[in-house]
Chains A and B, each alone.
Chain A
Amino acid sequence: MKNIFKYTFAVLAVGFASCEPEFDNPVTDEGFYSNGTANFSKYVAVGNSLTAGYSSGALYIKGQDYSYPNLMAEKFGFVGGGEFNQPMMNDNLGGLLLNGQQIAPNRFVLAVDANGKPGPVRLEGTPTTDIANKLSGSFQNMGVPGAKSFHLSAPGYGNIAGVPTQAANPYFVRFASSDNATVIGDAAAQNPTFFSLWIGNNDILSYATSGGAGVDQTGNMDPTTYGGNDITDPNVFTHVYSQQVDALIGDREAKGVLINIPEITSIPYFTTVPTNAIPLDAATAAQLNANFAGYNTQILPGLASMGVITPEEAALRMINFSAGQNFPIMTDDDLTDITAILLGPPFSLPASTAALLGQLRQVKADDLIVLTASSVLGTTPDPNNPQGIMGVTIPLPDQLVLSTKEQARVKTATNAYNTTIQGLAGAKGLAFVDARDALLRLADGGIPYDGGLLTSQFVTGGAFSLDGVHPTPRGYAYITNLILKAVNNTYDATVPTVHVGDYPTITLTNN
């Protein structure tokens, strides 16, 4: 009898397994979602770290899983999308090796220090992604962290021999089709039917994150002469960018989406550290003011009257502390260097004092102090000199502050690039995403999502990862929806979107 039960159930089990409930209109049915006038069968994404899925200071497997191209490709699967391969990293640490030597650090995680204070720290461990191990096959995510616009068209950008001299990019080395390949060439060779292009961020960003340490190359049409932290000439940008768009469209008349460049003022790397971060009591402020009295009342007016500096510069350079929160002192390489003059008569200052005052001013409210300054401000770098305090008696180096002059250069270039991007999108009938506007809205009040408010607030806002520049997976999900909506609008498609709240933010871990 027991066997009869057993066999009966076995037969029935097979029978009923096929009696799955069916929806009237299953989302998996062809035609439930529409591809509109676009063909998503071969999607190729081209760009920089943002396209690669870089987050919290590194590229790692989980971050790549949540890259916006990967999220988009997943949804394109409902409307005829094909295979989408990414050049996956080897681990979740994120660092890079070159023949065993580490050349890129691991990712940041949020750790709690001995005093119970949470903050970003680099994840410990030896990374296992050695760029000498080339990946085989073609990859539809052609996001190359660190790439500027002209790099995408530069032959040899994936040649491992160029990595030590920074002529090549270690990420592209992993999957370039040959030593002489270009990113855009490898992308176009895949004959995409649909593409996304988000490039140009690094053309201003490295200048900004280095506190304007580079040069504004506007007017210099030869990018091979640029340094890593320079601003790319807008005409160079327009030239390479339109060539890249043409290459991606090809004679296939591929459809695609272009994404513009956000303002640096909308990312926490520049908005987290307040400009008046130095707390002082009245007595200390008075003593500091006494120290700088000679600079304020004799040197600056004297140099102005001698015509060495303008009266405006003299006013800008005045140092003034008071009880409460104060602006730190800084070195500004846009100021006239007066070191040599101070060494000679009538000032005849000692060399150390002359060097201190050479390009000295106090940070202003419209300057931007970069995120990495938070670990420097108020510290005493020389343990034997408790009086040597960063920002108080030692000026912040120029590369920790983005002055208003430097900001203006960045903004001018950004606007120029964005004019090119939007103009090309219109001229070529491509979808256009105003990422600049979207990130400004994140920074200005935030964007509601299914689970709260997404903001640019560092660590807690949800949109930005622990490097202060790149989004979290949740931030990338927000961008994914922006792009998909623009694609749907432009091409009359109904590609499904993502629930932003389903995607994670920062990772908590104590090493």
Chain B
Amino acid sequence: MKKLMIFAALAITAAATTYAGGYRVSLQGQKALAMGHTGVAVIESSELVFFNPAGLVYLEDKFNISAGVSGVFSNIAYQNTETGANVRSDSPMATPLYLYASYKATEWMSIGLGIYTPYGSEVKYENDWVGSHLVNNIKLQAIYIQPTVSFKINDKFSVGGGPIYVTGSVNFNRNLNRTLTDLDGNRANVEIDASGINNWGWVASTMFNITDNLHLGATYRSEILLESTDGDATFQNIPNSPLTPFSDTSIKAAMPMPAELTVGVSYTFLDDFTFAFDFNRSFWDAYKSLDIDFENPAIPDSKNLRNYKNSSIYRFGMQYNATEMFTIRAGYYFDETPVQAGYFAPETPRNDSNNFTAGLTVNVNKNLQIDASFLFSHFNEVDASYDYYFEDGTAVPFSGTYKTNAFVPGLGLTYKL
């Protein structure tokens, strides 16, 4: 009961809630997610490979492995009161995964490996909907593979990090404009497909144990630019006329996976309670514009201004070891949108969000745990517009009211030896 009151207080102090701004998908561990996706200063499991590699060396067990999957059910509703247009997205369930393993090689060094998907997006509208000149559907995937090493400097202080290899893909379809059709009125559209886009980045982190119960942590993950030089553009329903330049060609395009800095604290009290707070700063200003450069010079390049701004996330989490069998968790985070006024595009319609999380771990035996989590992302209804779509040099704003939400149940396993 006491802990419930604490959570209620947290929920009230923060005014509003989603699951992450832009195309960040914060689902990198069921234990952490259940605590509002805090974890930079929580020494609990091999989820640290993502949250703070430096902490791995302080794990008690020699060998730790965590794996999990989430089911993302996200919904977007759009309406325009001037025309009565009303649309609901038809996005399929996305299933981000993670796998972490760590091994304490010596008393002062641990090594680890993480595979996770911190960026991604899957949004699908009905084809030819009223905003189809901006997006019909988009699927963005980025898989991070991160070997890690962690060094204990002393009992108070450790450092960690490692290189990150990213392999990504993007598939994007939109209509060419609001009105171009073939002879039978089928809307002309372009599908951009780029896969096997690879690049390298890195992560560095530190953990500071002020006391046995009080920890500070910090993690920085570098920006990684996913740059495709040989994607495909496929044009459909193009009228048979030399007055239109469209034909299938290859494309160049780049999309940043922004850098992220996290600092946080955790405090364990009354033996069984742990409180955690994380602050994320996401450097979204790297995402200026989504530009598609068509290889065929006759096809004008597609410039799609984004102008994201850096944004912050405030995360709060609580954990309670209720019994030997059960650990229960709850959390909350406030996620600031990186989208600026006038840049609200239906492909990632994210305003500020309030996010509520809960979960539990079942200790099956001394080695095996089942981790479950649940996230509900609440976005306030928002009147917004994207003002940087142009037809023949004239800006044609796309505006309306958006209401979105997301439900994300997740399950995971933790194995310790």
Binding site for B on A (CB under 8 A): 1, 4-5, 8-9, 12-13, 16-17, 19-24, 26-28, 32-33, 61-62, 65, 75, 78, 92, 109-112, 116, 118, 123, 450-452, 474, 496-499, 501-505, 507-510
Contacts and interface: CB of A to CB of B under 8 A. Distances in A.
13 contacts: A9-B93, A12-B409, A20-B77, A23-B403, A27-B86, A62-B181, A65-B185, A92-B183, A111-B241, A499-B83, A499-B130, A510-B240, A510-B242
Given A451-B396, A502-B178, A510-B240, A16 B77 contact: no
Contacts of A92: 183-185
B71 interface: yes
A380 to B, nearest CB: 29
A25 B195 CA distance: 41
B79 A27 contact: yes
Contact of A508 (B76, B241, B405, B411): B241
A501 B185 contact: no
Contacts of B83: 75, 496-499
Given A21-B405, A510-B241, A123 B183 contact: yes
B84 A33 contact: yes
Interface of B: 69, 71, 73, 75-77, 79-86, 88, 93, 130, 178-185, 239-244, 379, 381, 391-392, 394, 396-397, 401, 403-405, 407, 409, 411, 413
Contact of A507 (B85, B86, B181, B403): B181
Contacts of A499: 82-83, 130
Contacts of B182: 509
Given A5-B69, A26-B86, A501 B381 contact: no
B179 A503 contact: yes
List 10 A-B pairs, minimum CB-CB distance, nearest first. Answer: A496-B84, A508-B241, A504-B179, A62-B185, A16-B73, A21-B403, A16-B407, A508-B239, A21-B405, A21-B77
A252 to B, nearest CB: 27
Contacts, number: 122
A501 B239 contact: no
A94 B244 CA distance: 24
A33 B381 CA distance: 20
A260 to B, nearest CB: 26
Contacts of A112: 241-243
A62 B305 CA distance: 33
A499 to B, nearest CB: 6
B71 A508 contact: no
A4 B85 CA distance: 40
Contacts of A62: 181, 184-185
B81 A22 contact: no
A501 B73 contact: no
B235 to A, nearest CB: 14
A116 B243 CA distance: 9
A22 B409 contact: no
Contacts of A116: 242
A226 B186 CA distance: 43
